[in-house]
A and B are shown apart, each in its own frame.
Chain A
């Protein structure tokens, strides 16, 4: 009896973890990979994108870290003083589960920082970086 319960629990846990594996984040990455015809994403390139200073966007926000802070596991702050929860999934588990939200902020924030939208390759790299935090 006890055993059977444990087995059921195990199966349930497996079902849940597959559900997570094929969740909205992976769908997003797959979608970026297809549009970018990408050979793969790199967390290192994503980190560079995140921390690099650009000159094409607004002078007040040369980098993603201008608002999100240097450490993806810590909270950030907008210029108007609003606190932003950490980007790292390990700290904010609900991150990147709503594709429309992710796309909306990529569009806004890349324009803000780079002065243009990010490419699917850049988004995939960045997301890979953020998911590993």
Chain B
């Protein structure tokens, strides 16, 4: 019997490469932000836009946002009190300066402690990462708004923000 060494070696190589990439991503490289897994948060915060990863903002941001849902960037996103409490608990526990710290060390750089930024798209680091994106691209009909992450980052729902 001939053992197909070459394909085997290739497969092994691919596997170990995938492992390295995955490992890097999970270890807090700026490409990966653990996506929302809680079904209630996914439903309530993921129907108008992508359910933004809780690690992309500090806990103080989520607390403030959850207190002002009736005027959420001009929309009424309010939910009943019990649901709001549940969502807040999840977002705060996984926030970028709490449980989600290892994903956000870079993204939250330069954000003053205690400030509660409401937009990911206004974080200094986010602005810097996107400074090369040309104006027409933001205005493209399939993008329309900076908050439409998935238009450019096709795996944003899975938490990946490679190009």
Contacts and interface: CB of A to CB of B under 8 A. Distances in A.
A58 B74 contact: yes
Interface in B47-90: 47-50, 74-77, 79
Contact of B144 (A58, A81, A107): A81
A83 to B, nearest CB: 9
A78 interface: yes
Interface stretch (B7-15, B22-30, B124-132, B146-154): B146-154
A43 to B, nearest CB: 25
A108 B75 contact: yes
Contacts of B77: 108
Interface in A80-95: 80-82, 84
Contact of B49 (A58, A80, A111): A80
Contacts of A108: 75-77
Contacts of B47: 78, 82, 84
A79 interface: yes
Contacts of A81: 49-50, 142-145, 148, 150-151
Nearest to A82: B49
A110 to B, nearest CB: 11
B126 to A, nearest CB: 16
A112 B75 CA distance: 8
Contact of A82 (B50, B79, B142, B143): B50
A78 B75 CA distance: 12
A108 B78 CA distance: 9
B52 to A, nearest CB: 11
A84 B50 CA distance: 12
Contact of A78 (B49, B74, B79, B143): B49
Contacts of B46: 82
A78 B147 CA distance: 12
A119 B79 CA distance: 21
A112 B145 CA distance: 18
Nearest to A78: B48
A79 B75 CA distance: 12
Interface of A: 58, 78-82, 84, 104, 107-108, 111-112
23 contacts: A78-B47, A78-B49, A80-B48, A80-B49, A80-B147, A81-B50, A81-B143, A81-B144, A81-B145, A81-B148, A81-B151, A82-B46, A82-B47, A82-B48, A82-B49, A82-B50, A84-B47, A104-B79, A108-B75, A108-B76, A108-B77, A111-B76, A112-B75
